[in-house]
Structure 1
């Protein structure tokens, strides 16, 4: 479905993003050469990664691959602020699958991802190369194990990113934060900081975002078929000590209180409600009696 906003002269406006719009011959060619570039990058980066791992524990190769992939797909990253490199818990807004490529390239972060991603044949393998921590929102009995895995990841000095909205939006809205995965910060592991992050796709945000009824594959094809490149600004906001805001809800509230004004400064206007007639991508209603 299309987003609810006034018409714009931009060629990549939300009104021009229907899922069934044909990509055309030139679009198919762009998809082809971009995917060929990804295959070539994998053929080079994967062996290098395993060779590196025989000598050192941490490998910079996944970050290099994500940088190449983001650029091949058209993203030109502009980093604002200073990302913490270790012992950091990033909390970010979320628009699309491209967010993962961009944040991984900009900071070397690992991610918290849905368990279904880990089961995907190729995507799951790539995610594991980047030390992704897989969680299942439906596994209420396994929450303690998931929290333990997050704690172990932070203990290894990783940077970890969570998208607490639990789904993707349109770049003009910010949903309430779900706080289940922030239980790892109750209490915070020694030395770990929280750093809010804002992803800003500029005028292209609504067009490039993956939400509503659009299937994921259609979104990928549409983005890869697009001509040219686009700017993606990644704002690493000032970090804060989670010990100053005891409890996951207080930590989430503090992160959101910093992300909202940063997004509004980028947009030049207040955020708007995210009104959808269909469930957002990746969203599943909570079971009665569960907590956010």
Structure 2
């Protein structure tokens, strides 16, 4: 019942946002409703978001750890960023349509040629100034550790316009991280039921860390390593995970 009530609230938020979204699109300007929808949908699902640090608002690629689909509601609602996602999400009912409306950049990871094309699309989005968010682990983790950051997903950084900065973001659910993590063979419906039906509010802190200059960092592997160490240190300091940088 709790899940259905939250879905009903989210549907109401969507219905309220659609007229303004359509008007913005008709006028050829970015929709102001996407960020509002994500933030309000997150609140409907219990998220209580706290922002720590100073988020950059343009010419930035956010690199964040990934625990749950709730990450998108939290980070998107706080920043208005466009997201990079696996291409299979594009075909999901309702969710795929919402992702496209939000400017999601879909990565076809099975084809190297397609990945190069998506890197160009990402570079184009970054050139427009809008923040873009990427989960470099490539999938959700278990909430107790960080997976390796895939440097291959950062190919677009090398083709990005001058002035781009990379900002690590630690998405910190505290002790609840392991309870909401989407791992193993858990299906989409089962995870939505378990996480969406969770009682009570769910505090999450978005820790915006010191930006990385891609030019000075020395390549995408170095960027991936520096971002992972920064996020790992932040989550370790809060007690969420135990992280030790690679030697």
Q: TM-score scaled to structure 2, two decimals?
A: 0.94
**1:275-286 residue pairs with structure 2 within 5 A?**
none
Q: Considering only aligned residues, what root-mean-square deviation do their CA atoms show, in Å? A: 1.4
Residue-by-residue CA offset, 1:91-119 (whole Å, 9 max, x unaligned) = 11110110011100011111100111111
Q: Tell me how far 1:56 sits from its aligned partner.
A: 5.4
Which structure features the higher share of helix residues? Answer: 2
Confirm or deny: 8 A CA contact 2:38 2:73 kept in the other structure.
yes
> Which residue among 46, 50, 53 is the counterpart of 1:74?
46
Computing the radius of gyration from Cα coordinates, the structure with the larger value is 1
Q: In 2 relative to 1, CA 130–253 (structure 1 residues): closer, same or farther, beyond 3 Å?
A: same
Q: Tell me how far 1:171 sits from its aligned partner.
A: 2.0
Confirm or deny: 8 A CA contact 1:113 1:132 kept in the other structure.
yes
CA–CA separation in structure 1 for the residues paired with 2:239 and 2:165: 27
Residue-by-residue CA offset, 1:12-49 (whole Å, 9 max, x unaligned) = xxxxxxxxxxxxxxxxx211211111111111111211
Q: TM-score scaled to structure 1, two decimals?
A: 0.80
Q: Tell me how far 1:170 sits from its aligned partner.
A: 2.1
Q: Which runs of 5+ in 1 are unaligned?
A: 1-28, 273-292
Instruction: Report what 1:41 is aligned to.
Output: 13
Confirm or deny: 8 A CA contact 2:169 2:209 kept in the other structure.
yes
Q: Secondary structure, in 3 states, of the residue corresponding to 1:251?
A: helix
CA–CA separation in structure 2 for the residues paired with 1:268 and 1:214: 22
Confirm or deny: 8 A CA contact 2:90 2:96 kept in the other structure.
yes
Count of paired positions? 244
The runs of 4+ residues in structure 1 deviating greater than 6 Å are none
Q: Tell me how far 1:143 sits from its aligned partner.
A: 2.2
Q: Secondary structure, in 3 states, of the residue corresponding to 1:267?
A: coil
Confirm or deny: 8 A CA contact 1:172 1:267 kept in the other structure.
no
> Which residue among 215, 220, 227 is the counterpart of 1:248?
220
CA–CA separation in structure 2 for the residues paired with 1:111 and 1:230: 22
Q: In 2 relative to 1, CA 38–163 (structure 1 residues): closer, same or farther, beyond 3 Å?
A: same
CA–CA separation in structure 1 for the residues paired with 2:12 and 2:71: 22
Is 1:58 matched up with 2:37? no
Instruction: Report what 1:170 is aligned to.
Output: 142
Residue-by-residue CA offset, 1:101-144 (whole Å, 9 max, x unaligned) = 11000111111001111111211110011100001110122222
Q: In 2 relative to 1, CA 44–102 (structure 1 residues): closer, same or farther, beyond 3 Å?
A: same
Confirm or deny: 8 A CA contact 2:20 2:33 kept in the other structure.
yes
